[in-house]
Amino acid sequence: MNLKELCAYLRLPEKEVLRRIESQGLPGRRVRGEWIFHKVEVDDWLQRTMAHLPPEQLSRIEQGVVRAGRPLKEEMLVSPLLLKDSIRVGMAARTRASVLRELVEIADGTGLVYDRESLAASLKEREELGSTALGGGVAIPHPRVRQPWVLVESFLVAGVHPRGIPFGGPDGSLVDLFFMPLCVSDQEHLQVLARLVRMLQDKKFLQRLREAGDAEELLEAFRAKEKALLRL
């Protein structure tokens, strides 16, 4: 992508994109005086920095990375991806590695995963680059690159741990809320991730998730929060 295409992709003015190159590590390089950007690198940068963006910028990402030209203003993105079978209240894992294994186990139990081993390897690869913990007891493990051949369709895994475990977060807190978005396309993944992060910035919502007694209560909490976010 050139600079103009990247601005359109991120829905940001040129001045703001150049500022992020200078101060926030947005990856790009100048070739014969022109800026060149690789989509994989840009998407990876977005995933790594999204947790630190304010709500208005996350909303811009949701609307800016356009999915087939469809408007997102009134669209539920996260809640429809949650299934009762993809939610586990009372995770048993005791280590960071076993959390990833348990999340893959939950995903595999939905019947929507073709290749469990490839999914597990991709999650491990992403975590080795740096923890996906956001702080505040929340982590969003996910594959670094989409693998559409691994999934039947997009869905979201959610797990609540009764005590929390060390997961390498920036604040050193134990993580007890785990969310694993599994999407078949990069565009959908970025939109879902941005919406999910925006929802998880609400501490009252996090407490409601921690107090959920079963999958149905957690799913209802997600539906209510996303509707409130969109003012539906």
Question: Domain locations in the chain?
Answer: 3-64, 79-230
Give the side-chain half-sphere CA count within 13 A for 15: 0
- Looking at residue 117, its pLDDT comes to 95
pLDDT at 97 over 90: yes
Measured from the Cβ of residue 154, the count of other Cβ atoms closer than 10 Å reads 18
pLDDT band at 45 (very low <50, low <70, confident <90, very high): confident
Whether residue 98 is predicted with pLDDT greater than 60 in this model: the reply is yes
pLDDT for residue 130 is more than 70: yes
Provide the pLDDT confidence category of residue 74 given band limits of 50, 70 and 90.
low
Residue 68: its pLDDT value, please?
41
Q: Residue 181 has what pLDDT?
A: 96
Of residues 129 and 226, more confidently modeled = 226
Phi and psi for 58 in degrees, rounded to 5? Answer: -65, -40
| Helix residue ranges per DSSP H, the chain | 3-10, 14-23, 39-49, 55-64, 96-109, 116-129, 186-200, 203-211, 215-230
Out of 45-49, 69-73, 179-183, 198-202, least confident range: 69-73
Residue 191 has what pLDDT? 87
pLDDT confidence of 57, banded at 50, 70, 90? Answer: confident
pLDDT in tens, 8-40: 877 788 998 999 898 888 999 999 889 999 987
Alpha-helix residue ranges (DSSP H) falling in 115-185? 116-129
Q: Would you state the pLDDT for residue 124?
A: 94
The string of pLDDT tens digits covering residues 173-216 is: 999 999 999 999 888 888 899 899 999 999 999 999 999 999 99
Name the CATH architecture for the domain at 79-230. 3-Layer(aba) Sandwich (3.40)
Whether 69 shows a pLDDT value over 90: the answer reads no
Q: What was the pLDDT predicted at 23?
A: 87
83: nearest Cα among 153, 133, 146: 153
